[in-house]
Structure formats: structure tokens, C-alpha cells
């Protein structure tokens, strides 16, 4: 599986792809590539994601999370009927569950492993200041460095109902939004800038630690005692 960020491929449509990014047009998608002994095929699993970016799958391969970068959202999908090999065989298996607003430009996503309480936790790293990010990208060796933010999103292991796609999106209009993404790390940039990825690992004592990397940072930040 992989994400395709743009509906208009930048190599072919440089102006339209820039416009798509500026207006947060939902042209991105989630794709599935498969290979058989005779051919390679690619199908679209999910359409209409605004600059589809980070992608994560839980350990059981029953939940997919996709970052919609320019929409400031993380989209959650359930996988129905996982194959014996733990894979996805068709687009019909991927069902929309919910969208979680994160109030920043989400970059990469990762699931926290080995949750024992029936929940799943996603770590999302990204950029809370879009203009600051562009400023740093233009001059990554300059004195200014864009802010960082990492948030956790906690979701239940199974969907609460069988409503999917348009039906679930419609119901979400009448439910409370926001507050589901809890910030676990923030920096204005002077301490650690341009966060793009956060992931959990266990140290030599068996305790969880969080690794954070930035697009234009020289090293990797190790965080202990993080509430995940």
C-alpha cells in the first residue's frame, strides 16, 4: 500500500499541482499494488484525500490511518475480511470509519505496538506553522527553524457500527469534533524543528520511548516518560 499525494501529478501538471496544494483540493488517494507471477497491478482503495501523506497500519492489519496533510486531518479506515496472509485483496475491504482533526499539517503516522487495553494509539508528527515550514524549506541552513508537534490519537480497536463511507461521514457532522488528538510534544523550533516522524520502541529496560525526527534536523530526538 502507498499514498499518492496529488490528483495532478507535479511532473506533468506543475501549476495545477501547486494550486491543488494551496486550496487543499482532495485529489490524493490510497493505492494498493500487487504482483503476480505474470503481472503487476495497482488499484485505488480510497479517493478524495487532501494531499494524502503518511500511512500506517496496526499490528493486526485491521485499521489503516492516512494523513490528509493540507486538510489538517487523519482519516481512519477499517479493513474487513483480512486474508490469511494478513493482506488486503480488494478495495471493498477498506471501509471509512472516521476523520480526526489535528490542527496542523500531519506528516508521517505510526501505530503504538502492544496495546493491551483493546485500544489503538497512533502517533502523528507534523508542522503547526505552514508558512514557517515553507520558510525553512527555502533556506534549511538558515537561522530560522519551523516548529514541531507530535500528537497521539486513541481509537477503539473495532468500529462501533456498520455505517461506512457516506453514511458515517454524514453522522459525523452531528457528533463532537476535535479534542481526539492530544499533543505529546511541541517545540517552537529552537529546541527541535520540522518534526516529520514519531515512533515508539522499547528500551533495554522494557519501557516505551519515543523517537522523533525532523526533516532538517541533524539528529534524532529520544523522549522518555511520554504519555502514550
Domains and CATH numbers, the chain: 2-224 (2.120.10.30)
pLDDT tens-digit series, residues 174-191: 444 456 899 999 999 999
Q: Give the cell for residue 16.
A: 495545477
DSSP H or E stretch at residue 22:
helix 14-22
Residue 157 has what pLDDT? 65
- Residue the block writes with cell 523522549: 223
DSSP state, residue 82 = -
pLDDT at 124 over 50: yes
Q: What is the pLDDT of residues 22-77, one digit of tens each?
A: 899 999 999 999 888 888 889 999 999 999 999 999 988 899 999 999 999 999 99
Q: Are 157 and 120 in contact (CB under 8 A)?
A: yes
What is the model's pTM? 0.87
Which pLDDT score is estimated for 159?
64
Q: Which of 211, 206, 210, 72 is nearest to 129 (CA)?
A: 72
- Judge contact between 189 and 146, C-beta under 8 A: yes
Amino acid at each position: 500500500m502507498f499514498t499518492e499525494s496529488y490528483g495532478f501529478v507535479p511532473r506533468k501538471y506543475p501549476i495545477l499541482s501547486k494550486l491543488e496544494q494551496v486550496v487543499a483540493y482532495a485529489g490524493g488517494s490510497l493505492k494498493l499494488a500487487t504482483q503476480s507471477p505474470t503481472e503487476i497491478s495497482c488499484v485505488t482503495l480510497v479517493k478524495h484525500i487532501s494531499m494524502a501523506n503518511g500511512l500506517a497500519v496496526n499490528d493486526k492489519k485491521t485499521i489503516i490511518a492516512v494523513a490528509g496533510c493540507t486538510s489538517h486531518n487523519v482519516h481512519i479506515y477499517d479493513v474487513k475480511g483480512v486474508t490469511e496472509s494478513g493482506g488486503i485483496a480488494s478495495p471493498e475491504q477498506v471501509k471509512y470509519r472516521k476523520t480526526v482533526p489535528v490542527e496542523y499539517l500531519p506528516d508521517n503516522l505510526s501505530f503504538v505496538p502492544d496495546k493491551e487495553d483493546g485500544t489503538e494509539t497512533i502517533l502523528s508528527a507534523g508542522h503547526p506553522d505552514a508558512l514557517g515550514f515553507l520558510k525553512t524549506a527555502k533556506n534549511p541552513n538558515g537561522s530560522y527553524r519551523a516548529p514541531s508537534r507530535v500528537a497521539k490519537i486513541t481509537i477503539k480497536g473495532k468500529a462501533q457500527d456498520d455505517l461506512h463511507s457516506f453514511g458515517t461521514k454524514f453522522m459525523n457532522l452531528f457528533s463532537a469534533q476535535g479534542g481526539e488528538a492530544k499533543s505529546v510534544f511541541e517545540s517552537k523550533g529552537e529546541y527541535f524543528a520540522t518534526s516529520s516522524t514519531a515512533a515508539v520502541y522499547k528500551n533495554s529496560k522494557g519501557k516505551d520511548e519515543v523517537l522523533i525526527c525532523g526533516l532538517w534536523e541533524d539528529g534524532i530526538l529520544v523522549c522518555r516518560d511520554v504519555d502514550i
